[in-house]
Amino acid sequence: MFNWCRRRRKKPSFSCLNPAQRDKLISDAREKLEEADFFLRKLRETQSAQPSGRDPRQFDWYLSAFLTSTRSGLQILCPREIDAPWKWIEAVMKKWPRPERKVFDRLTRLRNISVHEEPVKPGSQIDFLTEFEVSSRYPIRRRHPLEWYVIIGRVPGTTPVRIGVTTFVLDIDGRQVPAVDCSAKYLDLAKRLVDHREQTKAQW
């Protein structure tokens, strides 16, 4: 990628990149995070479709693709040809609140497990939600009003009917967190890192 790397015995620093090279890195990273955004939408769609009996393994597959594409976006900004390529990310992360660092570290670890060791399989739990809560939590696509449901009339003031919905979860610092929620947070953190890199590119 960087021809000048072959002419130096010691790895160069980011300061050796010219403006065009820096802009390309940022553009390529953003494109990779757009790919991650696509897989995040697929995670939400698959989560919301669980009452229909869709194969739950689809969630695992989309999660693997999401983790890989998110991490790849950051790897683009940390080329191996550069000396200490991840140092700037570590410096930014030190300023994050602990919960954000935990999410970032955990999902990065899951990505590494998925790529180098074994498939990542999130846990699951059954949440019993009212029809209103289901539509509020999973407003992904327009549905026919009768899809998935048996309409049961009830007297006003009585307890509403609840529907069992599978929620996929990941362990974050000892807590079971909805996988879609922490995936969205992971992508947001990655985008913030790219934004930071673009805003400070004159200082590389």
Looking at residues 130-152, what average pLDDT do you find? 59
Here the tokens at position 53 are 């009996």
d(CA 102, CA 129): 29
pTM of the model: 0.80
- Residue 203: is its pLDDT beyond 90? no
- Note the pLDDT of residue 47: 84
- Residue 153: is its pLDDT beyond 70? no
Measured CA angle at 60 (ends 135, 134), to 5 deg? 10
d(CA 19, CA 159): 63
Spans of all domains in the chain: 19-203
- Note the pLDDT of residue 5: 47
d(CA 135, CA 145): 11
For residue range 164-192, what is the model confidence (pLDDT) as tens digits? 778 899 999 999 999 999 999 999 999 99
User: Between helices 179-199 and 57-76, what is the axis angle to 10°?
Assistant: 10
d(CA 99, CA 20): 36
3-state secondary structure 9-29: CCCCCHHHCCHHHHHHHHHHH
- Note the pLDDT of residue 110: 97
- Residue 71: is its pLDDT beyond 70? yes
Confidence at 139, pLDDT banded by 50, 70, 90: low
Here the tokens at position 150 are 């048996």
**Dihedral-angle region of residue 173 (phi above 0 means left; psi in -120 to 50 means alpha; beta otherwise):** left
- Residue 6: is its pLDDT beyond 70? no
The overall average pLDDT reported for the chain is 84
List C-alpha distances in Å: 86 to 90, 144, 186: 6, 48, 17
Looking at residues 25-42, what average pLDDT do you find? 97
pLDDT-wise least confident of 20-29, 123-132, 143-152? 143-152
For residue range 79-122, what is the model confidence (pLDDT) as tens digits? 887 878 899 999 999 999 999 999 999 999 999 999 999 999 99
> 39-43, 142-146, 165-169: which has the highest mean pLDDT?
39-43
Q: What share of the chain is helix, strand, coil (3-state, %, to 5)?
A: 60, 10, 30
- Note the pLDDT of residue 54: 65
